[in-house]
Amino acid sequence: ETGVTQSPTHLIKTRGQQVTLRCSSQSGHNTVSWYQQALGQGPQFIFQYYREEENGRGNFPPRFSGLQFPNYSSELNVNALELDDSALYLCASSFEPTGSGANVLTFGAGSRLTVL
């Protein structure tokens, strides 16, 4: 089975720009979550998508937004980039029969964003 794949693996942006990060979920998974991991820190929950709708959100401003597509892949969009947005962005997928959170998350290797 194919795991979680993310693109791009690395990218550099400047303050004020916008970025889109992409994620293909593991085969058979229907739920996607996004996490931000700053250097030396644990991942922080941004939001989760189930059945193409946001199904939970962490403490991130509205300039962090996302989409889930019918094939369960997902995008994370960040507008008006700030220096503190520099981090590893991790996508994780799982199969959730009801969206209530029953199963183990499988993570991708992440997209490393540097904001200059």
Q: List the one residue from 105, 111, 113, 115 that touches another protein (CB under 8 A).
A: 105
Query: Tokens 């403490």 label which residue?
Result: 59
Q: List the one residue from 7, 18, 41, 79 that touches another protein (CB under 8 A).
A: 41
- If one asks whether residue 101 binds another protein (CB under 8 A), the answer comes out as yes
Q: List the one residue from 1, 2, 40, 97 that touches another protein (CB under 8 A).
A: 40
Binding site for another protein (CB under 8 A): 3-4, 31, 33, 35, 40-45, 48, 55-56, 58, 90, 94, 96, 99-110
